[in-house]
Amino acid sequence: MGHGLPDHDSLVARDARHVLHPWADLSTLGTQESLIIAEAHGIEVADSAGRTYLDAIGGMWCVTVGYGHPELVEAMAAQARKMAYFTPFGDVSSEPAARLAAMLADLTPGDLNRVQFTTGGSTAVESAVRIAHYYFASRGQAAKRHVLSRVNAYHGGTYLTASLSGKSADRTLFQYESDWVHHLESPGYDPDTSPVSAAERLDGLVAGMERAIAGIGAENIACFVAEPILASGGVLVPPPGYHEATLELCRRNDILYVSDEVVTGFGRLGHFFASEAKFGVVPDMIVTAKGLTSGYQPLGAVIVSDRVAESLAANADRDKPVFSNGFTYSGHPVACATAVANIEVMRRDDVCGHVLDVGPYFIRRLRELRSSSIVAAVRGDHLMACVECHVPGEDGPTARNQALARRVDAYCEEAGLLVRPYENLCIMSPPLIITRGEVDRIVDIMADSLARAEHDLRTGAVR
Ligand code: PMP
């Protein structure tokens, strides 16, 4: 790996001239010098110039069993040879989709047994909201259409899911839904930096949600959509008891609880799904994507409780009984075959057990970085974490704090480590197969990069 492509320069030029990247900085449009990732094996990737990097981003929170896993690659190829695609609409299915649906029903808690496949996380969250709307409208409660989300949530890039997202940096010139989407307070709690106890914080969050429900009226609310740990919003971990308390409020007010496990599912927190195993809640719907195929194929799914699914069927419009939601590539056979292989490998190799061992080590080692004067906080749980950078005495994502984090990120990249910059954070979610030795390598490079950025700050190079 890492020999470089002969046409590296022309690839960069073609990218700069023609690609409008997702979530890219428009001020560099046309001049961007994109990192073109050309190869990936295990937990390392190589760019088109031949440089190799340890991937602490895990693709994008999604790589579970590492890159180039022969069993996943073979499953993809075998399915493509056998039957690459056919419509999933109506009463047509495929062998991998049927097998995967049964596996997901087995992996999810309670009576979550009915799967609607989609093409990724956004389309799965969007589908969950459509299911919630249909559920209530078909029961004669069409007014129950409002949706509760949280500040700092991230639920996707379609218009509705972007409306549900609550990251202020993303709320720019678009026309987001606002009359029926509501953002509750961001629920993060960091015992290292919070001035209040976890119990006080929990009380405040629950009281805020109760007030919001009373203000909107429970009779107008369809669902609460929540990541168990907010990922892209900055790895925000709610205080203990938050998940049970919010579920309880939903139950009391007949609000469907949708757990967005796009990031927290598939082993990142040491369980196939974290909702029940880690947080003690059985939601009405769980949304998954990303790690479902280890990122090898685009795929998402909403796993719906039998209670909700049976109600959809029992109360469907008799004249128009079609549930009109789905996509050409919903449950794509090659993607489903990849997911089946991924689950088989993860089970056989006890990848979740490995995360339960290496995850706490990762967090413990990262927390050592708090000794740097430019580290404001280290947050996370198992294999999702972030290092928050600051100019000492300056809080939040100020321009200088963001510049500092970008510098740390650039030094990491120079040293062969990819971390994900977001505002003043360096976000990490490595492939789940990472070893303790590789964790040490990440921490060493981070420590060195922080020291270099700290030096730049002292010498006035960061403004
Ligand atoms: N939900 C969460 C929690 C996510 O992190 C993401 C993607 N980062 C999505 C939904 C959207 O998934 P996708 O990009 O596959 O549409």
Distance (Å) from CA 259 to ligand 1 centroid: 12
SS3 assignment, position 118: strand
What per-residue confidence (pLDDT) applies to 308? 98
Q: Could you tell me the two tokens for 209?
A: 């949600």
DSSP 46-85: EETTS-EEEESSHHHHT-SS-BT-HHHHHHHHHHHHH---
Fold of 8-65+350-458: Aspartate Aminotransferase, domain 1 (3.90.1150)
Residue 226 has a CB neighbour count (10 Å cut-off) of: 28
Residue 463 has pLDDT above 80, yes or no: no
CATH 3.40.640.10 placement within the chain:
71-348
What per-residue confidence (pLDDT) applies to 4? 74
- Atom number, ligand 1, closest to the C-alpha of residue 60: 8
| CATH code of the domain made up of 71-348 | 3.40.640.10
Instruction: Detail the DSSP E strand segments found in 158-314.
Output: 181-184, 221-226, 256-260, 285-288, 300-305
Looking at every residue in the chain, the average pLDDT score rounds to: 96
Pocket test of ligand 1: the residue of 163, 290, 297, 420 to mutate, having most ligand atoms within 8 Å of its CB, is 290
Residue 5 has pLDDT above 80, yes or no: no
Closest to 337 measured CA to CA, from 301, 376, 371, 296 = 296
Tell me the average pLDDT across 240-253.
98
Residue 365 has pLDDT above 80, yes or no: yes
Residue 462 has a CB neighbour count (10 Å cut-off) of: 18
126 close to ligand 1 (CB < 6 Angstrom):
no
Distance (Å) from CA 258 to ligand 1 centroid: 14
124 close to ligand 1 (CB < 6 Angstrom):
no
Confidence of residue 72 (pLDDT cuts 50, 70, 90): very high
Tell me the average pLDDT across 141-163.
97
> 367-375: long-range contacts (C-beta < 8 A, 24 or more apart)?
368/443, 368/447, 369/443, 369/446, 369/447, 369/450, 370/192, 372/447, 372/450, 372/451, 372/454, 373/454, 374/404, 374/408, 374/450, 374/453, 374/454, 374/457, 375/450
289 close to ligand 1 (CB < 6 Angstrom):
yes
Distance (Å) from CA 231 to ligand 1 centroid: 9
What per-residue confidence (pLDDT) applies to 412? 98
Distance (Å) from CA 289 to ligand 1 centroid: 7
How many H-runs (helices) and E-runs (strands) does the chain carry? 14, 15
Residue 290 identity = K
Residue 168 has pLDDT above 90, yes or no: no
CATH 3.90.1150.10 placement within the chain:
8-65+350-458
Give residue-wise pLDDT tens across range 373-415. 999 999 999 999 999 999 999 999 999 999 999 999 999 999 9
Q: Could you tell me the two tokens for 353?
A: 């057990």
CA distance 47 to 64: 21
Give residue-wise pLDDT tens across range 304-318. 999 999 999 999 999
Closest to 430 measured CA to CA, from 301, 295, 337 = 295
Confidence of residue 95 (pLDDT cuts 50, 70, 90): very high
Pocket test of ligand 1: the residue of 57, 119, 122 to mutate, having most ligand atoms within 8 Å of its CB, is 122
Ligand 1, atom 12, lies closest to the CA of 121
Residue 1 has pLDDT above 90, yes or no: no
Are 147 and 256 in contact, with CB atoms under 8 Å apart? no
What per-residue confidence (pLDDT) applies to 443? 98
What per-residue confidence (pLDDT) applies to 178? 81
